[in-house]
Amino acid sequence: MANVNNPYLELTKELNRGRLRALLSSGQAVVVHRLAIMSKDGDWLLREDAEAVTHALEVLSRRGAWYRFGAPLDLRWLANGWSAHLEFRRGPLRLRIDFVTRPPRIGAEWLQGIWETAQASGTEVVGLEPLAALKLTNREKDYAVVGELARLMTDPRAQFLYSRSSRDLIELASKHPAELAEGLRQRPLLAHIGEGREALEEALDRERRALMRANEERLSRYQVAAESWAAKWPAVRRQIEGLPLLEAHRVMTSAAAGTLPFAPGPGGDS
C-alpha cells in the first residue's frame, strides 16, 4: 500500500527497517486485504531470530511501550508458541502490539515458505492462505472473514481448503475436479460436496465447531502452563511499571524464567 499514514503500517515499516522481520497479521492484515475493519489491536508474525527480537524491542522502547501480561519477547518462549504483548499510546490511540513467531495451525515448512515468499515479493503482510489458517480460531466472527478470504484466493486448491460457502464449493467442484481430489486429502469435509447443499452445510457447521474446540483446547494448554506466571504477574507488573522497556524486559525475562515454562505441554504449538 502506497499510503502508510496509519499507526500499524508505520510500525510495520519501522520493524522492517533494513531487513524483513515482521509481517502484519490477523485483523489489521484483513484490512490491508480490503475486507472488514474488525479489530483495533495489532498482531505481527515475527521472524524467529535474536536480531529481529532485539530490533522489535528497540523500536518499541523508542515508542515508550510497556509489557502487558504475556510471555517475554524472548526466543525461548516464542519458539514454543507463546505470544508476547506490549502496548503504547499515540495521541488518542491505545496501540496494542502482539507478537508470535510460531503461529497456530501453520507448520514449520509452511512457515519457512511464508518468509521466503514475503522476502521475494517484498510484502510485509501475511498472505491470504496463512491468514485464513490463523483465523480458524474459537471465535465465530473469524469464520466470516475466512469465508471472504477464500473468495480472494485465486488458486482453486486454496479455495477448496478454506471456503466456508456450500454454494462456492459446489461450483468449484464442477469446474476443478482434479483440484477437488487433491483437496480431499487435506480437508475431509470436501467429501460431502456430492451430497448437496444441506449435507455440505451441516458438514461445514460441524467442521467449524471442531476447529473452534481445537483452538479452545490449544489455548487451555497455554493457560494451564501459565498459571504460576499469572499468579506472579501482579508483583512483576509493579516491579516493571515506569521502567524503560529494555530494562523492564530484563526484569520480566528473569522473573519468567523458572515460572513460565518454555513449552506449554504436548501439542501446544499446533
Partner 1 sequence: MSGPRDEFLSEEDLDLRNLSDDELVAYWNLWLEQAQATNELDAQLYSHGVFEREPEDPASPGVHVAARIRR
Residues 139-178 touching partner 1, rule: CB under 8 A, are 143-145, 147-148, 164-168, 171
Single-letter code of the amino acid located at 19 = R
Interface with partner 1 includes 264 (CB under 8 A)?
A: yes
CB 97 within 8 A of CB 86: yes
**In the complex, minimum distance from the CB of residue 161 to partner 1, in angstroms, rounded to a whole number:** 16
- The alpha carbon dihedral of 172, 177, 179, 182 has a sign of positive
User: C-beta of 172: minimal distance to partner 1 in Å?
Assistant: 10
Which region among 56-64, 125-133, 154-162, 231-239 touches partner 1 (by CB under 8 A)? 231-239
- Which helix (H) or strand (E) covers residue 250, if one does? helix 245-256
| Cell numbers describing residue 266 | 504436548
Distance (Å, whole) CA 219 – CA 200: 29
Residue with Cβ nearer partner 1 (188 or 234): 234
The correct pick among 20, 75, 219, 263 for binding partner 1 (CB under 8 A) is 219
Give how far Cα 208 sits from Cα of 20, 141, 235, Å: 34, 11, 39
C-alpha 19/C-alpha 170 separation (Å) is: 43
CA distances from 113 to 19, 107, 151, 246 (A): 17, 10, 22, 31
Residue 197 Cβ vs partner 1, minimum distance, rounded to whole Å:
10
What residues between 33 and 52 interact with partner 1 by CB under 8 A?
34-37, 39-41, 43
Binding residues with partner 1: total (CB under 8 A): 58
Sole binder of partner 1 in the list 114, 218, 248, 249 (CB under 8 A)? 218
How far CA 77 is from CA of 93, 161, 196, 230, 264, in Å, comes to 29, 30, 46, 15, 9
**Judged by CB under 8 A, which of 92, 122, 258, 266 binds partner 1?**
92
Q: Is the Cβ of residue 119 or residue 197 nearer to partner 1 in the bound state?
A: 197
User: What residues between 197 and 216 interact with partner 1 by CB under 8 A?
Assistant: none
233 binds partner 1 (CB under 8 A): yes
Cα(42)–Cα(97) distance, rounded to whole angstroms? 5
Dihedrals phi, psi of 196, to nearest 5 degrees: 95, 170
Q: Kindly tell me which of 89 and 250 has the beta carbon lying closer to partner 1.
A: 89
| Segment contacting partner 1 by CB under 8 A, of 53-61, 91-99, 124-132, 187-195 | 91-99
Binding site for partner 1 (CB under 8 A): 1-7, 9, 25-27, 31, 34-37, 39-41, 43, 68-70, 81-85, 92-94, 96, 98-100, 143-145, 147-148, 164-168, 171, 218-219, 222-223, 226, 230-231, 233-234, 237, 241, 264
